[in-house]
Amino acid sequence: MPLKLTIVTAQRTVLEQDGVTKLVVPAAEGQITILPSHAALMSSLAIGEMVVFTGTASESIAIHGGFIQVANDEVSVLADAAERVDQIDLERAEAGRARAQARLQGRDANLVGGLDVLRAQLALQRSLTRLRVARRRVGGATGAPSSRP
């Protein structure tokens, strides 16, 4: 039996999809793949790309942390934020990446506390995820998530 997937954020329901055959998820402790009849699971999520396979089609979604619950072939994702390909603003993501990188490189100048470094690293991760997901729009939505170019 295929999986039923729901992705919700505090603001809205991002995706509701039946007939999911495979799911690749950026779990907190590393990437995991969920197939039908998966054992019941609760895990927190990292920032990263989630890929939803429905038969031969697939869709990439940028997930910015949160929580996943799998039980009885029902998958609920409580995302802190989630963006589908068409919701990502490529220019903004690129600008965000540049900003975060600049911050990290000039670290000793402005960033003193470890918290600021962490914040910049998270921002960098988020924008890289966005960019990776957004790039799938051009390349067509097939295949497994490639490693970073």
13 binds other proteins (CB under 8 A): yes
DSSP state of 88: -
**Are 22 and 35 in contact, with CB atoms under 8 Å apart?**
yes
Cβ closer to other proteins: 8 or 141?
8
> Contact region for other proteins (CB under 8 A) — 3-11, 53-61, 100-108, 137-145?
3-11
99 binds other proteins (CB under 8 A): no
Characterize the bridge pairing of strands 3-8 and 74-79.
parallel
> Contact region for other proteins (CB under 8 A) — 25-33, 96-104, 132-140, 141-149?
25-33
78 binds other proteins (CB under 8 A): yes
Cα–Cα distance, 73 to 2 (Å, whole number): 7
> Contact region for other proteins (CB under 8 A) — 39-47, 92-100, 119-127, 128-136?
39-47
86 binds other proteins (CB under 8 A): no
Interacting residue with other proteins among 4, 6, 84, 135 (CB under 8 A)? 6
Burial group, residue 114, by CB count within 10 angstroms (0-12, 13-18, 19+) = exposed
Give every CB contact of residue 6 below 8 A, 6+ residues apart in sequence: 13, 15, 16, 17, 74, 75, 76, 77
42 binds other proteins (CB under 8 A): yes
What's the Cα-to-Cα distance from 128 to each of 10, 41, 43, 72, rounded to whole Å? 23, 27, 22, 33
Whole-number minimum distance, CB 81 to other proteins, in Å? 9
| Interface contacts to other proteins, rule CB under 8 A | 6, 8-13, 27-29, 39-44, 67, 69, 71-72, 74, 76, 78, 80
